[in-house]
Amino acid sequence: MRSLLALLIVTLALAALCCCEKGKGTSSQEGSRALLNPAKEVANAFVKRNKRSSPYEWYFESYRRPMEQMHERCENYPPCDYLSDQIGFALAYNRFFGRY
């Protein structure tokens, strides 16, 4: 199934390159380069993040609260994660890792 999907995607990409080629003296390589290398601003438009304005924000971005660390520990252990859905996080964490 995956090989069929990959073949379909490659076929569609080649068809798009052939159909979208500009005919006024440009070679097929130049046309394909224009399609594969969009402008830097367009390519990175969706990745722009807000800049942090204070050291306070920098600190709390890297600091995780103890309860958040315990939640991650329980989520990474499948029996605890399953049991926390059934009886709650506190009881599941106490059963597998002891008192918090």
Q: Does 41 lie in the same domain as 7?
A: yes
Residues 43, 77 within the same domain: no
Between CA 48 and CA 51 the distance in angstroms is 9
pLDDT tens by residue, the chain, 100 residues:
777 777 778 787 777 777 766 554 455 555 555 556 666 666 666 666 666 667 777 777 778 888 889 999 999 999 999 999 999 999 999 999 987 6
Is 13 within 8 Å of 32 (Cβ atoms)? Answer: no
Query: What is the pLDDT, as a whole number, of residue 86?
Result: 94
- Give the pLDDT score at 99: 79
**50: phi > 0 → left, psi -120 to 50 → alpha, else beta; which?**
beta
Question: How far, in whole angstroms, is CA 76 from its chain's centroid?
Answer: 19
Range of the domain at 37: 2-47
Tell me, yes or no, whether 12 lies in a domain: yes
Which residue type occupies 26? Answer: T
* Exposure string over 82-93, b if 16+ CB within 10 A, otherwise e: ebbeeeebeebb
Is residue 18 one of the residues assigned to a domain? Answer: yes
Whether residue 17 is contained in a domain is answered as: yes
The whole-angstrom separation of Cα 5 and Cα 11 is 10
